Amino acid sequence: MLDLDILIILVVACALIFDYVNGFHDTANAIATSVSTRALSPRVAIWMAASLNFLGAMYSTGVAKTIGADLVKSASLINSEVMIAALMGAITWNLLTWYVEMPSSSSHALVGGVVGAVIVSVGVDALKMEGIMKIVMALVCSPVVALVTGFFVMIALYWIFGRMAPRNVNHSFKKMQIVSAAMMAFSHGSNDAQKAMGIITLALLSSGYIDVFEVPFWVKLCAATAMGCGTAAGGWKIIKTMGGKIFKLEPISGFAADLNSSLVIFGATLLHLPVSTTHVVSGSIMGVGTAKRVRAVRWGVARSMLMAWIFTIPCSALVSGICYKVIKLFL
């Protein structure tokens, strides 16, 4: 039987691995549009995204508190084994979808992982259903909001710059894309890195290491570093899908997609709501593409991404449940 200290170390290690995987899995969210339009070289884009991911992750802890407080009724109902299984389920699903080049949501995977591990370990009654519904609604509604607002942002840009020569417009917006990609990277870090912070803090609270749910500074620093390092490692498979398979992007449309995504994600961060940066960016690209013409969007790719969205929570829940059973065989 492993002692409590070792289990907490394992939770922290798994959470940081999740953040690292999340970083390279979701690198495309911040830089795919700017790389695909050649506004930035891949090397420069990745290092810029990694740096701003780190700074964004240090911004606040509101989303971490939502993840830690709204999934289970009480920290006393779960233990470190549950958190390890939840994280393993989320990591496994992220790696699988990355391998098959399918953009999926790390947020969905983490929520599914926690739900599956809790159900198998202590039962459905331990879940805080109203909190889970709030989180799921944020995850479901955010890409729809991004699609709608992306459409109108692109329409506004067409209205403002429509009479200018396309060559001049694209040249100007290549420079503007650097700003929008930076905004996107910061907002990504501000939302996504906090999810692992929430899990680590929940494990510390359930084990008695802290008395109230407040994210320690060292947890913020470690999670931010893991996210930044993961982003620096890159995620070229997903970049290819996000950057060109949904809709052929130009500098002006890439700027619109990044600007819209960053505003939606950062708005969610201010409201302490976890959202899927992958699906927000995907929704923005679809909205921007629709503004040009509906048929410009490759809806077959969008349909595949929707299927991944539907299956992520149940599949990661199933994997985490299996992981919990395996862990209990050895602990």
Q: Which pLDDT score is estimated for 305?
A: 66
**Mean pLDDT score across all residues of the chain:** 83
What is the DSSP track for 20-80? HHHHHHSHHHHHHHHHHTTSS-HHHHHHHHHHHHHHHHTS--HHHHHHHHHSBS-GGG--H
pLDDT of residue 103 exceeding 80: no
- For the chain, the structural domain boundaries read 4-330
In sequence order, the 6+-apart residues with CB closer than 8 A to the CB of 235 are 24, 25, 26, 27, 28, 98
Local structure of 298: helix, strand or coil: coil
The better pLDDT of the pair 46, 245 is held by: 46
Yes or no: say if 7 and 81 are a contact pair by the CB < 8 Å rule: yes
For residues 331 and 290, what is the distance between their CA atoms, to the nearest angstrom?
Answer: 53
pLDDT in tens, 41-85: 777 877 888 888 899 888 888 888 888 888 888 888 888 899 999
Which of 149-158, 169-178, 261-270, 298-307 is predicted with the least confidence, judged by mean pLDDT? 298-307
For residues 280 and 260, what is the distance between their CA atoms, to the nearest angstrom?
Answer: 9
Local structure of 323: helix, strand or coil: helix
Q: Which pLDDT score is estimated for 1?
A: 46
Q: Which pLDDT score is estimated for 250?
A: 78
Which residue, 84, 65, 193, 85, is CA-closest to 131? 65
Encoded tokens for 208:
């008695």
For residues 256 and 77, what is the distance between their CA atoms, to the nearest angstrom?
Answer: 45
pTM of the model: 0.84
pLDDT of residue 2 exceeding 60: no
pLDDT in tens, 194-226: 888 999 999 899 888 888 888 999 999 999 999
Yes or no: say if 20 and 194 are a contact pair by the CB < 8 Å rule: no
For Cα atoms 73, 315, 79, give the angle at the middle one, nearest 5 degrees: 35
